[in-house]
Structure 1
Amino acid sequence: TYLIRLQPELLKSGQYTLEISAGPSLEFPIKTTRKNTIQSFFGDGRDGNSRKHEGVDIFAPLRTPVLAIAEGSVVRVNENNLGGKVVWTRPKGKNYTLYYAHLDEQIATDGQIVSPGDTLGLMGNTGNARTTAPHLHFGIYTSSGAVDPLPYINPDIKPLPKISASLDHLNSTMRNRSGEIVYVSAANASRYRTELPDGSVNFSPAAQLNSVSKPLRKLKLSTTQAHLFDAPDSLAAVKATLAAGEVVDLLGNFGSYHFVMDQRNQTGWVSK
């Protein structure tokens, strides 16, 4: 979860448009136009489920170039029983390492500075992959262990949902089908992020909300409805004192309060 705070210059207002896109933070470790090259995923069972897969397997023809995917350096070139011929790199300024395994040939050298697209080695099936088709086992390791590398490299970028809900109602007061007053703070696809007067948050279909510009009906105030509150609470600040018999527009409700507009176009809450 990220909290983004935008603040204008002191004593000045401002308007912001924030665009968010989703995609991998690292390049893909081979050049390919094929889809579904990743055929084994993080967490899959290995050796009769005695251990978990700590990376993803990317399949391509034997001796396909395996590429650096970030600016950084080669921290180790060695062999081990599981990975066979392997290369480890550390992206510049990051606290994780990238692991390339089952190489047929290692080209990178210890301490080498690399850029995205530099060839680290050639794909193979060394180590415990001797009986499988050539593939790259790619992993990411932090100080706490392996993490799922797929979000870092996944080339299948899904477009964000198009916002069909009208943006004209953002930061405005509306009411739902039951007449409850809600505050609209954001839009997502065909829904609004709404907040009730008690602070509870929901996502409501835009089609189920209406503007409060058109009142539900007229309301004649009684002697017990003299205070126009800032919130639906008897302890809230009193915005105005209304006269008994005054006719106001009823815009909505919440709990034991009506949300109204008086003849001076002031809005607020009166008890039911």
Structure 2
Amino acid sequence: MRLISTTRRSLRRLLPLLFLPFLFTGCGPQQTLQGIFAQPRTPHEAYARQLRQAGLDRTALGRDWLAAADRALQDSLVVTLPFRETGLFRAEQAFAASYRYAVRAGEQISISLTLEPATADVRVFVDAFELDPADPRPRALASADTLSRSFSYVAEDDRQHLLRVQPELLRSGRFTVRIRRGPSLAFPVHGKNDVAVGSFWGVERDGGARRHEGIDIFARRGTPVVAAAAGLITRVGETPRGGRVVWLADATHGRHLYYAHLDQQLVQAGQLVQPGDTLGLVGNTGNARSTPPHLHFGVYRRGWGAVDPFPFVRRPDTEPAAPRTAPERLGQWVRLTAPRTALRPAPTAPKTKPATGLPRHTPLLVVGATADWLRVQDPSGRLGYVPAKSVATEALRREALAGPADLLSHPTAAATPLDTLPAQARVAVLGEWSGYRLVRNAAGQVGWLRQG
């Protein structure tokens, strides 16, 4: 124990070396990935580099911090957007949380992290990555730390993305992370939203000879059709299939927006426009003469061709529900009440066969909470989610020890003794697991005792 305390005192003397100002590499809501990559290193990478330069990678806590960062990129929990979770990090343990989520090309992903006011000065590194099945190395997308813990970016492809949240060493606090989707383009029909879309990408056309390369947005004839992005009008013309059409080049993002079946065109080629500027009026010209008035809207990406426009214009996610679990439960132990409960990789994961789950009364450390789920760590160190209703917070029982017993840090024979409890010491049993029971003594200290 003296060696651990000495190491921590040494770390506290060295840690001020790491508090040098870093350039902020996050981005505001309107910035693109090109702006995000202007800095050569993320705040997390710069902090890790200074850890090594200060020799802290040769200490147990320093090694654990670096290992937790790498492990988070390989072993993330799966979440469904929109997502919100409140979590806890503790000074005595290196911590990194990671969340994996699916995105569609054209969605703008907004990420924010807030801390309790009492710990608002803690540096927390927030990094988003793209996962490519063909490449084991995650590709960095966007980052933030002290100056702002919020950023947004536009998804370039249908992929899995990963968010890592990691605080600096030797700091404690509670955080709330939010991940939401929104459109990267303005809606192209004035006064409408994605509810007005009546025909979607990929629907068969001409008896199956081709597929719909856009979406159809239905509105009254004469409804203004507006620019969904700032850019240059590259073409205004008429074709047999599209009728009266307008092409808008969104050079910032390397895409072309296609407006078809217009009743009137109100712009000219070479004209610069801003989001919301009127380009024409809804109609049914071209091969849409037998259908109600609507706008055919298409998105064409440089080097890709046509892509599904819906994610580009979908409505933003609503604010996800707050956790129903009281904040003080974070960092506390609970126990399972069902006969068998599986740790799930996601708050909405399908049920696992009961035979493979954890037994009743298994103690679980609460490290995070969503609306109806708890993110927990089992006694072996595995992370996962369990329904909040499947655990109890009260002690299993209270008992007096028959004889002296070592209070252990972990449920293993090689664990470090935290204390020796005398015979007849009264303890509250918080749970049982694999021949050990988790107890809390009269002084409030929590540890493990061997059964029997």
TM normalised by structure 2 equals 0.51
- Give SS of 1:32's match: coil
User: Which residue is equivalent to 2:397?
Assistant: 216
User: Which residue is equivalent to 2:60?
Assistant: none
2:292 is aligned with 1:133: yes
Q: For each residue in 1:227-271, what CA deviation from the matched residue of structure 2 results, as whole angstroms up to 9, or x when unmatched?
A: 544333445x41435367464332112333321224553322233
- Give SS of 1:201's match: strand
Against the structure 1 CA distance between its residues 245 and 11, is the aligned structure 2 distance closer, same or farther, given a 3 Å change threshold? closer
User: Which residue is equivalent to 1:203?
Assistant: 386
- Give SS of 2:429's match: strand
Deviation at 1:155, TM superposition (A): 4.2
Instruction: Output the amino acid matched with 1:203.
Output: V
For the residues of structure 1 that align with 2:398 and 2:207, how far apart are their CA atoms? 69
User: Which residue is equivalent to 1:148?
Assistant: 308
User: Which residue is equivalent to 2:330?
Assistant: 170
For the residues of structure 1 that align with 2:320 and 2:194, how far apart are their CA atoms? 20
Against the structure 1 CA distance between its residues 245 and 90, is the aligned structure 2 distance closer, same or farther, given a 3 Å change threshold? farther
Contact 2:187 2:193 in 1 (8 A): no
Instruction: Output the amino acid matched with 1:190.
Output: D
Q: 2:418 aligns with which of 225, 240, 252?
A: 240
Deviation at 1:166, TM superposition (A): 2.6
Which of the two has higher C-alpha Rg?
A: 1
Of the structure 1 ranges 10-19 and 123-132, higher mean CA displacement relative to structure 2 is found in 10-19
Higher helix share: 2
Contact 1:22 1:160 in 2 (8 A): no
- Give SS of 2:257's match: strand
Contact 2:406 2:420 in 1 (8 A): yes
User: Cα RMSD (Å) of the superposition?
Assistant: 3.3
- Give SS of 2:163's match: coil
Q: For each residue in 1:1-48, what CA deviation from the matched residue of structure 2 results, as whole angstroms up to 9, or x when unmatched?
A: 34153646x766565554555543432212236994221122322222
Q: 2:364 aligns with which of 155, 167, 182?
A: 182
For the residues of structure 1 that align with 2:434 and 2:242, how far apart are their CA atoms? 64
For the residues of structure 2 that align with 1:96 and 1:171, how far apart are their CA atoms? 47
Instruction: Output the amino acid matched with 2:246.
Output: V
Alignment of 1:51-200 (within 5 A): 51-91=210-250, 93-142=252-301, 143-155=303-315, 158=318, 160-177=320-337, 178-198=360-380, 199-200=382-383
For the residues of structure 1 that align with 2:227 and 2:393, how far apart are their CA atoms? 54
Against the structure 1 CA distance between its residues 255 and 121, is the aligned structure 2 distance closer, same or farther, given a 3 Å change threshold? farther
Q: For each residue in 1:189-223, what CA deviation from the matched residue of structure 2 results, as whole angstroms up to 9, or x when unmatched?
A: 2332333233140231x3332325x4533263678
Against the structure 1 CA distance between its residues 268 and 145, is the aligned structure 2 distance closer, same or farther, given a 3 Å change threshold? farther
TM normalised by structure 1 equals 0.79
Against the structure 1 CA distance between its residues 240 and 169, is the aligned structure 2 distance closer, same or farther, given a 3 Å change threshold? closer
User: Which residue is equivalent to 1:30?
Assistant: 189
Q: Which runs of 5+ in 2 are unaligned?
A: 1-100, 102-161, 338-359
Deviation at 1:115, TM superposition (A): 1.3
Contact 1:182 1:196 in 2 (8 A): yes
Contact 2:180 2:316 in 1 (8 A): no
Alignment of 1:14-53 (within 5 A): 16-18=175-177, 22-32=181-191, 36-53=195-212
Against the structure 1 CA distance between its residues 265 and 185, is the aligned structure 2 distance closer, same or farther, given a 3 Å change threshold? closer
Contact 1:76 1:88 in 2 (8 A): yes
For the residues of structure 2 that align with 1:233 and 1:263, how far apart are their CA atoms? 23
User: Which residue is equivalent to 1:3?
Assistant: 163
Against the structure 1 CA distance between its residues 84 and 33, is the aligned structure 2 distance closer, same or farther, given a 3 Å change threshold? closer
Of the structure 1 ranges 190-199 and 134-143, higher mean CA displacement relative to structure 2 is found in 190-199
